[in-house]
């Protein structure tokens, strides 16, 4: 006998994700989140207590799941280069399921994490930690070059976050004819980042 689904909290979280991504914490409006979720505003406070608690709940869940996906790649099988490519793919796939993620990530980095509690910060830290684990294992095994982990981490993931988050602004620039470029799908972009990482992390010079 299935438990009755807590539709309200889940709908509120989904609505909050969209609103916070579009407007940021300060720009988000509780009324708008409630309306998007088709619940009464009082219900939102009943379930989450405050705007900030809602925000933290959303981010903690999201970060934890992202870290979980990368952690699964890290503890799975495969060579170092394959795991790096797998981590990039997993991260990109996660983002594409949760289109709100890049914008929120960008905003939270800009904010310096000032609004996050310890638990949420810990969830966020799980993302780089999983990636660093892959790098360390590969270096120990000798199939990855020992670059500084932060360099590899930011080289691999930040272009993806940025590229996907910048989609609206690219549209806008394209529409006003300020720039013209051959289209590039997200999948192509991700593949190219994987290739670039493979090259820059290869332990020995290699043929292209």
Which residues of this protein are in contact with its own copies, per CB under 8 A? 21-27, 102-104, 106-114, 118, 121-122, 124-125, 128-129, 132, 147-151, 154-155, 158-159, 161-163, 165-166, 168-169, 172-173, 176, 178-179, 181-182, 184, 188-189, 192-193, 196, 199-200, 204-208
Q: Which does 76 bind (CB under 5 to 8 A by kind): its own copies, DNA, none?
A: none
Which residue do the tokens 């006003």 mark? Answer: 176
Q: Which of 11, 35, 36, 41 binds DNA (CB under 7 A)?
A: 41
Task: Give the nearer residue to DNA in terms of CB position, either 48 or 91.
Answer: 48
Give CA–CA dist 134/138, Å, rounded. Answer: 6
Q: Which does 52 bind (CB under 5 to 8 A by kind): its own copies, DNA, none?
A: DNA
Which residues, including other chains, have CB under 8 Å from residue 73's CB and lie 6 or more apart?
Answer: 83, 86, 87, 90, 130, 134
Which stretch in 33-41, 112-120, 128-136, 162-170 sits in contact with DNA by CB under 7 A?
A: 33-41
Note whether 37 and 9 are within 8 A (CB).
Answer: no
Shortest Å distance, C-beta 61 to its own copies: 18
Task: Give the nearer residue to DNA in terms of CB position, either 23 or 170.
Answer: 23
Which residues, including other chains, have CB under 8 Å from residue 102's CB and lie 6 or more apart?
Answer: 95, 161, 162, 164, 165
Is 3 strand, coil or helix?
A: coil
Give CA–CA dist 39/152, Å, rounded. Answer: 43
Note whether 189 and 91 are within 8 A (CB).
Answer: no
Q: What are the residues binding DNA (CB under 7 A)?
A: 6, 8, 28-31, 39-43, 45-46, 49-52
């Amino acid at each position: 006998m299935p438990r009755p689904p807590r539709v309200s909290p889940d709908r509120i979280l989904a609505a909050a994700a969209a609103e916070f991504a579009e407007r940021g914490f300060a720009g988000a409006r509780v009324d708008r989140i409630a309306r998007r979720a088709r619940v009464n505003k009082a219900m939102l406070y009943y379930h989450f207590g405050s705007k900030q608690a809602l925000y933290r709940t959303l981010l903690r869940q999201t970060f934890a799941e992202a870290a979980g996906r990368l952690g699964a790649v890290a503890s799975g099988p495969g060579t170092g280069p394959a795991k790096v490519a797998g981590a990039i793919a997993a991260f990109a796939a996660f983002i594409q399921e949760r289109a709100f993620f890049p914008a929120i990530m960008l905003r939270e980095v800009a904010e310096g994490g000032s609004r996050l509690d310890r638990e949420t910060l810990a969830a966020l830290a799980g993302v780089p930690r999983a990636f660093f684990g892959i790098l360390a294992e590969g270096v120990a095994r000798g199939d990855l070059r020992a670059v500084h982990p932060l360099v590899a981490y930011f080289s691999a993931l930040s272009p993806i976050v940025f590229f996907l988050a910048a989609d609206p602004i690219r549209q806008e620039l394209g529409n006003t004819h300020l720039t013209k470029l051959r289209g590039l799908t997200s999948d192509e972009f991700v593949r190219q980042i994987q290739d670039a990482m493979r090259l820059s992390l290869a332990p020995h010079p290699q043929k292209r």
